[in-house]
Amino acid sequence: MDFIKVTEQKEPFVALVELNRPKELNALNHQLMTELLVAFQQLDKNDQVRVIVLTGNEKAFAAGADIKEMAEKTAIEMQLMDRFATWDQIRKTKKPIIAAVSGFALGGGCELTMMCDMIIASETAKFGQPEIKIGTIPGAGGTQRLTKAVGKAKAMELILSGRFLSADEAHFYGLVNKVVPVEMYLYEALQLAKEIAQMSPIAVQLAKEAINRSFETQLDEGLAFERKNFYLTFASEDQKEGMKAFVEKRKPDYKGK
């Protein structure tokens, strides 16, 4: 892989995925996104990985889709290439993904953080959908996910003006989980990953699936979906182990079975 670096077992059962196109501020070209999807699909199948942390570098998580790659394309070429189809696949990743964000998370970069399940931000992080400044609009979910995350008024302001949101504002609006000093953002994300990786991976994935359902269904259907996943955990050895360990006042040892 040229633009993605994957390190497994950084912490037990945690994989670190780094976007690695630093000179272009990790601009998300087609090759990078294809590599990223392959990496996620492989990690999803890897029993030694329970949680994924996705990061860029201190200056940029990612400054958006690669403008140079698409600048001269026609609408029909864009439609036929349907590059965002690759991006859509990322949300099918079953394991939780934590974005560790420092510096620019703009356009497709911001959209990529919102495809993740949690965001830990450095205090230098800047989130934004500046596509309007280059004569276009978000194309990888920004108008939908940002609106759901921060509400209509703020999403309108950000998407129509191209203004950036500081890390603290992003925290205030509920876009990110936590803001920490720049030297801590990756550590914090890995710590959260490590904590989640100690839980039953089956329960974690069923919970992620149920939470994501809430964005797509009415309450009745979402509640029924949650209940089925709740009952399904009782088919796992991990649920038996978790409840037995509680009764025996000891730490559970989850096997992902």
Indicate which residue of 108, 109, 141, 142 is catalytic: 108
Give me the least distance between CB of 232 and ligand CAA, in Å please. Answer: 35
Torsions phi, psi for 149 (to 5 deg):
-80, -45
CA distance 28 to 185: 21
Helix (H, G, I), strand (E, B) or coil at 255: coil
Here the tokens at position 142 are 């920004």
Identify whether 216 is a catalytic site residue: no
For the chain, the C-alpha Rg in angstroms (whole number) is 19
Considering only 56, 96, 138, 252, the residue that binds ligand CAA (CB under 6 A) is: 138
Indicate which residue of 18, 35, 111, 188 is catalytic: 111
Given its phi and psi angles, is residue 254 left (phi above 0), alpha (psi -120 to 50 degrees) or beta?
A: beta
Q: Is 56 in the site for ligand CAA (CB under 6 A)?
A: no
Identify whether 131 is a catalytic site residue: yes
State which residue, 163 or 194, has the beta carbon closest to ligand CAA: 163
Q: Is 104 in the site for ligand CAA (CB under 6 A)?
A: yes
b/e map of 161-187 (b: 16 or more CB within 10 Å)? ebbbbbbebbbebebbbebbeeebbbe
Give me the least distance between CB of 102 and ligand CAA, in Å please. Answer: 13
State which residue, 16 or 37, has the beta carbon closest to ligand CAA: 37
Torsions phi, psi for 197 (to 5 deg):
-70, -15
Q: Is 22 in the site for ligand CAA (CB under 6 A)?
A: no
Q: Is 159 in the site for ligand CAA (CB under 6 A)?
A: no
Residues contributing to the site for ligand CAA (CB under 6 A)? 24-25, 27, 63-68, 104, 106-108, 111, 130-131, 134, 138-140, 142
The residues assigned a catalytic role are 65, 108, 111, 131
